[in-house]
Amino acid sequence: MLIVQARVALARGQVDAAVALATEGIAILDDLGAIDDGEVLMRSTFAEVLHAAGRREEADAALRLGYELLAELLARIHSPELRRSCLTNVPEHARTAELARAWLGLPAPVGT
């Protein structure tokens, strides 16, 4: 929920509030260690929020982690068609790959 609130705050131009919300959400995630669903969204949102706040190095690191999680997720899908679908039809996955390409110069995750 915190990450969704951070996305809303960012969309409203409330960058400081977005940073606070996303930071709290990521701290909870880090305490948990990992979650089954939504971690890619959380990491990419955190990256976007940090980027908007001018914290580019931190944003790049957060995005890199989200990209790596996405690549690991896609690698577990054996069907090339399902892998492509997971990347292109899940908005947060597509957005993470798009940002990784734009900010970090990373290719699309392997096998997609």
The rounded mean pLDDT for the chain is 93
Q: Is residue 91 part of a domain?
A: yes
Q: What is the pTM of this model?
A: 0.90
In the block, tokens 């705050």 appear at 9
Residue 112 lies in a domain: no
Distance, in Å, from the CA atom of 65 to the CA atom of 96, rounded to the nearest integer, reads 10
Its domain, for residue 28, covers 2-104
What angle, 0 to 180 degrees and rounded to 10, lies between the N-to-C axes of helices 56-75 and 80-88?
150
Domain assignment of residue 111, yes or no: no
In a domain, 13, yes or no: yes
Tens digits of pLDDT across the chain (112 residues): 899 999 999 999 999 999 999 999 999 999 988 776 789 999 999 999 999 999 999 999 999 999 999 999 999 999 999 999 999 999 999 999 999 999 999 998 876 6
pLDDT of residue 35: 76
Q: Structure tokens of 32?
A: 């948990």
pLDDT of amino acid 52: 98
Residue 78 lies in a domain: yes
User: How many structural domains comprise the chain?
Assistant: 1
